[in-house]
């Protein structure tokens, strides 16, 4: 069971900012910006490269949830970034697809 599955099951506490039947959004415990929220599907897909055509609606739901959370947290107008890491070279640390929503300060480009 991944760390995120344990959060979904409430075995590990999290600062949840949004939840519905398909997704959960919570504050990152090692934030990289003043607003740093992780948005995860409740059904485990290990990483973006493992998603299938049948996951299309859920993948769209993750991005629309990022929009909802950005609005809820008051950063929809100032700007926000969404990031999906795939694999160790990209910084992936939990094998459960997740979207990082970063905001609350100017974000440099290129990242990283």
Q: What is the mean pLDDT of residues 26-33?
A: 96
Q: In the predicted model, is pLDDT for residue 69 greater than 90?
A: yes
pLDDT at 76 over 80: yes
Mean pLDDT score, 4-12: 97
Residue 62, in any domain of the structure: yes
Question: In this predicted model, what pLDDT tens digit does every residue of 84-97 receive, in sequence order?
Answer: 999 999 999 999 99
Domain that holds residue 81: 3-103
pTM across the whole model: 0.95
In whole angstroms, how far apart are CA 1 and each of 8, 9, 64, 106?
A: 11, 10, 26, 36
How many structural domains compose the chain?
1
The answer on pLDDT for 112 being more than 90 is: no
Which sequence positions are flagged as catalytic? Answer: 98
80 bridge partner residues: 103
Arithmetic mean of pLDDT, 10-37: 97
Instruction: Give the CATH number, domain containing residue 54.
Output: 3.30.428.10
Confidence of residue 111 (pLDDT cuts 50, 70, 90): confident
């Amino acid at each position: 069971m991944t760390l995120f599955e344990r959060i979904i099951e409430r075995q590990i506490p999290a600062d949840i900012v949004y939840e519905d039947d398909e997704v959960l959004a919570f504050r990152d415990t090692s934030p990289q910006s003043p607003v740093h929220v992780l948005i995860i599907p409740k059904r485990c897909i290990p990483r973006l490269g493992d998603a299938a055509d049948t996951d299309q609606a859920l993948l769209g739901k993750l991005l629309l949830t990022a929009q909802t959370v950005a609005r809820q947290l008051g950063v929809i107008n100032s700007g926000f970034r969404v990031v999906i890491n795939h694999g160790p070279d990209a910084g992936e640390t939990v094998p459960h697809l997740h979207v990082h929503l970063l905001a609350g300060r100017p974000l440099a480009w290129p990242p990283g």
